Copies of this chain bind each other. A is one copy, B any other.
Amino acid sequence: MSKPEIACWFDFASNYSYLSIMRLAQQDEVAVRWKPFLLGPIFKEQGWDNSPFVLQKNKGDYVWQDMPRQCAKYGLPWRQPTAFPRRSMLAARVALLGEAQPWMAGFCTRTMLANFAHDQDIGSEACIATILGELGLDAAAVLEAALSPDNKARLHARTDEAKALRIFGAPTFFVGPDMYWGNDRLDDALAQARIAGG
């Protein structure tokens, strides 16, 4: 038996990605291939210059009613961010470096908590440096690597890969070729991963 595997495509600015990242980090039955990417270019292709939760006011207002209920259901902390969506490019670039590192899950959960439980600006180098320091990493060195042209190109390629996979939102999960969109499909995707891996 191989270990079940799921790919998780997410954006640190996405509140529903927050739910899934926390839930995936709390389990170890299914291996997670982390796929940080940027939703902005995906939305731009649909003609949107911002999150649909901003552009569609009724839906957006609903989301902020939905989130505390969802967080209560999953036992997760919640504070509505005073800025939304927050700039997630820096966090995504750091996460690209961490994908295969033991600190990846810790970085993702701490960054999500900073945004959605502690109302911190994850777009700032200071915030990300603090998180990296808490993980026992050399924050200056990681940030330098994250901001390198090579790594910038990698994030661009990752987001192109998301477009090629026809991803239209986040979080999005893949189990083999099968796409599952949204935190509401995480249980279905995990169940499918167990079948596929078992």
Q: Could you list which residues of chain A lie within 8 angstroms of chain B, going by C-beta atoms? A: 46, 56, 58-59, 61-62, 65-66, 69, 73, 166-169, 178-182, 184-185, 188
Distance, CA A182 to CA B183, complexed state (A): 13
Distance, CA A104 to CA B116, complexed state (A): 43
Query: What residue in chain B is nearest A181 (Cβ atoms)?
Result: B62
Known: A46-B56, A56-B46, A181-B66. A61 touches B188 (CB 8 A): no
Our pick among B66, B167, B168, B178 for the contact of A56 (Cβ within 8 Å) is B168
**Tally of this chain's copies:** 2
Distance, CA A167 to CA B57, complexed state (A): 11
Q: Which of A61, A167, A181 has the most CB of B within 10 A?
A: A181
Check A167–B58 contact: CB distance below 8 A.
yes
Check A184–B184 contact: CB distance below 8 A.
yes
Q: In the assembled complex, how far is the CB of residue A156 from the closest CB belonging to chain B, in whole angstroms?
A: 20
Distance, CA A167 to CA B62, complexed state (A): 9
Q: In the assembled complex, how far is the CB of residue A117 from the closest CB belonging to chain B, in whole angstroms?
A: 21
Known: A56-B46, A62-B181, A179-B62. A69 touches B169 (CB 8 A): no
Question: A180 contacts which chain B residues (CB < 8 A)?
Answer: 66
Check B65–A169 contact: CB distance below 8 A.
no
Question: A181 contacts which chain B residues (CB < 8 A)?
Answer: 59, 62, 66
Taking A58-B167, A65-B179 as known contacts, 9 extra A-B pairs with beta carbons closer than 8 A to each other, sorted by chain A number, are: A46-B56, A59-B169, A59-B181, A62-B168, A62-B181, A65-B178, A66-B181, A69-B188, A182-B184
Query: What residue in chain B is nearest A192 (Cβ atoms)?
Result: B69
Q: In the assembled complex, how far is the CB of residue A166 from the closest CB belonging to chain B, in whole angstroms?
A: 4
